[in-house]
Structures are given as C-alpha cells and as structure tokens.
A = this chain, B = another copy of it.
Amino acid sequence: MALFKRLLTKACDHGIDDPRKMFHCLKVGAALTIVSLFYYIRLLYDGFGGNALWALMTVVVVFEYTVGGTLYKSLNRIGATTLAGFLALGSHWIASQAGHRFEPVIMEISLFVIALVTTLSRFIPVVKARYDYGCTIFILTYGLVLVSGYRVEKLMDVAMQRLSTIMIGTFLCIIISILVCPIWAGIELHLLIACNMDKLANSLESCVAEYFSDGDEESKKRLQDYRFVLSSKASEESMAEFARWEPAHGPFGFKHPWKNYIKVGSSLRSCAYCIETLVSCLDSRHQVPETIRNHLRASCLSLSSSSSNVIRVLSTTVSSMTRSNQTDNVIKEMKDAVQESQNNLKTLSGILIRSHEEQVMKYELQDIIPLVTFVSLLIEISSRIEGGIVKTVEELAHSAEFEQSEDEMDLPMAHVGSKIVGKEENMIALQRV
C-alpha cells in the first residue's frame, strides 16, 4: 500500500512537471470511457455483440503519446487485420474443400508457415521500424480467424465485426489524439534538433570559457549540455519514424524530409564526441603557464564564440524554417577565427625559442602541449561544424524548401541575439500548433 502511494505521488509529480503528459493521460482515460459506452448502450451492444470488446482493446493498445505513434499503430492494426482476415478466409475455404478430416491439418500447417515467415520478416530492419506492430497483429488475426473458423458458423460476419470494431477504436484514438492538444512527433523532433544545437553551442562556449578561467556559475552548469546530444539518438530515430505517418500539420507538409533531421542529428553527435574530448582537456589546463595561456586566450574565446554563433544561427534556421542571410557571415567569421588561432599557435614557436635563447624564463614544449591539444581540438570542432552541421542543415533547408529571410539583409552580428529570442517565441508558437 505504501509502495502504491509512493508510485501515485511520483506519477502525479510527473503529471504536474509536464502538463502535456497529464493531458495525454486524460485523453487516454476519455477515449476508454467513450469506447466503453458502446458496451453499455444496449442498441450498439445488440449491433456488435461481444466483439465490442475489441474496440476497448484497440484503444488501450493503440493510443500512443504522439499523433504519429497513434497513427503508426492504428494503420498497422487496420491494415494487418484486413490482410490477415482475408487471407485466413481464403485458407479456410481451401482447407474446407479438403474434407473434414484434413481440414485441421491444412490449417495448422498454414498457421505454422504464416507465423514462421512473418516472424522472420520482422528481422528485416525496414519492416522492424515500420511494420513491427503490424506483423504481430497479422499473425494474431490470422490465427484467431482461422481457428474460430473451425467452430463459428458465420465466419465472415465475425471477421467483419472484428474489423469494424477495430476501426471504431482506432478512429476514436486518431480523432482524439489529433483534435485535443495534439503532440506531433514531427514537431517534437524539430524542436529536439534545434534545442540540441543550442545545447552544443552552450557546451562549447562554456568549455572554452572555463579553460581560460573566464566562466561563471551559469557556464559550469552548461558545460555538460552536450551529453543530451550524445543520448538522444534513439529518440530522434523513433520520432522521425513516427513523423512519417503524420498528415501535414503547421508548417510541415506531408512529404517533409524527416530523414534529413536524422542526418543533422548525427552531425551534431559527431561534434559532441569531439566536445567530450575537449571537456576532458579542462583537467590539464593548470599545467600550462598563465602567460602562455593568456597569449592564446583572445583568439580561442573568439573562435569558440564564432563557432557557437554558427551553430546558433543554424539552430535558428532549423527552428524558424527560414534560411538566414547571416549564415555566410558567421561562417566567414569562424574561418577567420580559425586562421587567427592557427597564426597564434605558430607564434608559440617563437616564444619557445626566445625563452630558450634568453634563458630568463624557460618554457619547454611539454608546458604548452595541453594547450596545443586544446586549440587543435577546437579547430577540429569548427571543421566538423563546417563540414557536418552546416552541410546537413543546408541539405535539410534545400529538401524542406526553407524560405530565404528578407528583412535582415545587412544586419550586424549584434542582432543575432535578438533573432534567438525570436526563436524561443517561435518554439512556443510551434508547440501550440
């Protein structure tokens, strides 16, 4: 009882934390209550008989958190039930021609083969991703109709009733999940990618700030933000898969290139791997003499802020679905900063040699190795941004036909900040779609 109470408290906390979860649960409860009415109202009961239970069952099994998830399960269920139903009726007819004695044998063999082939095809990745639930329902319906067929007289009626109750259940789920506070897998994916980009930019900026002892409490917190990017692969993939099933909604057409988001996601992760290594460089920062660190401080901070800017502008491009005219500018700034950092690295050579010649304050190569590694990684990250994130976002913008923004043709860099505030509003607006 105490366990149950703790569970209840925890569940309620979850509901209060995220009202959308609470709404989802209310929707499931409402759908179930409505569908159980079919059973109570005698008229409908007389129409469908015990099969009305299938509608209840359908609602429980099919209702998912996102519209895409619900549609995936609904369409799989309807498709597989129809297909398996007809196939079972056919098998039944063939078996019945073989006489009463061989009928069960033929039917058992057909069930075995169908189960075998369907289970095997579930191992094919495409089938697994898109029709896994359909495969279960296919075997299930085939088995049920075939086996019932041996006893129940009006087999066709049973099959049609089962199908119609399932359709009532799925349509109810689809309607409720689309009309009442819909949670679109597409929008979730869209926001997740944009949000992950911002997190990556935060981590990068914080890490460099920390390295040059330039960070505050806020930046310490943001340092680990890149971990979200590392761990969001599975949810990105499942959401992209669900988004395929969704009709056009808000700014997204029916053929929106969801798989491009997956590509952006992996380019983000490729950057995140490098940032992970960069963060581990923080431990060795105190081995580098203060003077030498200060020598590279300005160029590194400028490189990290311009790299983060590129990511943030691209994040705005994704979230607002508008190509920014800023992109080329910020990329150019990043390239300049890379050049500057490389030049500064070269001058370290001179410092080493001078320190050796003058013998006043002797620096050795090993003093600067951690710094050299740090800067090299920083340069590698900006090259991954350019070759990965910029490219994949460009591809996404191309396939999804993002518009070109017009009103900020010659905006100076200072306005990028206000653009990002605009994006937050945009996100909230998107969430309300």
Contacts and interface: CB of A to CB of B under 8 A. Distances in A.
B8 A380 contact: no
A107 to B, nearest CB: 8
Contact of A36 (B24, B147, B273): B147
Chain A contact residues: helix, strand, loop or mixed: helix
Given A277-B377, A349-B364, A373-B373, A45 B120 contact: no
Given A140-B61, A147-B53, A349 B376 contact: no
Q: Place the interface of chain A in its size category.
A: 35 or more
A160 interface: no
Contacts of A104: 40
Interface string A158-201: 00000000000000000000000000000000000000000000
A208 B148 CA distance: 65
A10 B124 contact: yes
A420 interface: no
A181 to B, nearest CB: 15
A119 B345 contact: no
Contact of A123 (B11, B147, B346): B11
A112 B29 CA distance: 5
Contacts of A400: none
A364 B352 CA distance: 11
A430 interface: no
Contacts of A111: 29, 32-33, 36
A230 B229 CA distance: 13
A263 to B, nearest CB: 15
Interface stretch (A14-22, A90-98, A291-299): A14-22
A277 B349 CA distance: 25
Contacts of A242: none
B29 A144 contact: no
A151 interface: yes
B21 A123 contact: yes
B40 A150 contact: yes
Interface in A380-409: 380, 384
A156 interface: no
Contacts of A372: 369, 372-373, 376
Interface string A21-34: 11011101110110
Most buried by B among A39, A119, A274, A345: A119
Contacts of A373: 372-373, 376-377
A119 B59 CA distance: 13
A155 interface: no
B112 A33 contact: yes
Interface string A42-76: 00010000100100110011000000000000000
A15 B123 CA distance: 9
A349 B349 contact: no
Contacts of A352: 349, 352-353, 365
Given A40-B104, A60-B136, A345-B369, 10 more contacts: A7-B121, A11-B124, A32-B115, A33-B112, A56-B144, A57-B144, A61-B136, A348-B365, A352-B365, A353-B353
25 contacts: A8-B121, A11-B117, A11-B121, A14-B120, A14-B123, A25-B119, A25-B120, A29-B112, A30-B112, A32-B143, A33-B111, A36-B143, A36-B146, A37-B108, A57-B140, A57-B143, A60-B139, A61-B140, A230-B273, A233-B234, A277-B277, A346-B366, A353-B356, A369-B372, A372-B373
